[in-house]
Amino acid sequence: WSLSMVGVRDHSWGRRVWSSIYRDRSIWTCFGPDLSFIACKTWLDPDASPDEMGCVIESGRVTRLCSIKIHSRFRQNSHYHEAVRLELEDAEGRSFTLDGKVLAYVPLRHRTPGREVVFLGQAMTRFTLAGRTTIGLSEYFDAALACERLIELSLAGEHVVE
């Protein structure tokens, strides 16, 4: 086998306290050496606005994302996502729309005694952007209480806009 490829990867290290986060969405895509995206939204509290962070990397040049809007569709009667649309705006005022379809999903669960159960879903996702296609990661992370609302919306056939 001979492989030649590029990728985007989380290099954050340290102890994880999964039960300290209410919800999180992290998207990692690499369309080639000339174009990659990292987009994350994190809610520490159900009533607080999310923290947004991310960037577009173009041929080694990094530009901060200023706006991240995520449209998610969840499998019926589930909190497992099956499709995602990203609407991104960078610090230069450029807009990007990425559409993703989940190809494979790994459900994980984290339990800490005395704390709320946290559900993590890591999904291999096919993303498209302006005629280009790649495989990336869409990772969804929800405290158990957040999952109830996602399941209600999935039963109604509604997309969730975050």
pLDDT tens readout for residues 125-161? 999 999 999 999 999 999 888 888 888 888 888 888 8
pLDDT score at 7 = 61
Highest mean pLDDT among 41-45, 87-91, 116-120, 148-152: 87-91
> Strand pairing of 61-74 and 160-161?
antiparallel
Q: Can you say whether the dihedral through the CA atoms of 107, 14, 36, 146 is positive or negative?
A: positive
Say whether pLDDT at 112 is over 70. Answer: yes
pLDDT score at 14 = 67
pLDDT score at 20 = 77
User: Taking the model in full, what pTM does it have?
Assistant: 0.88
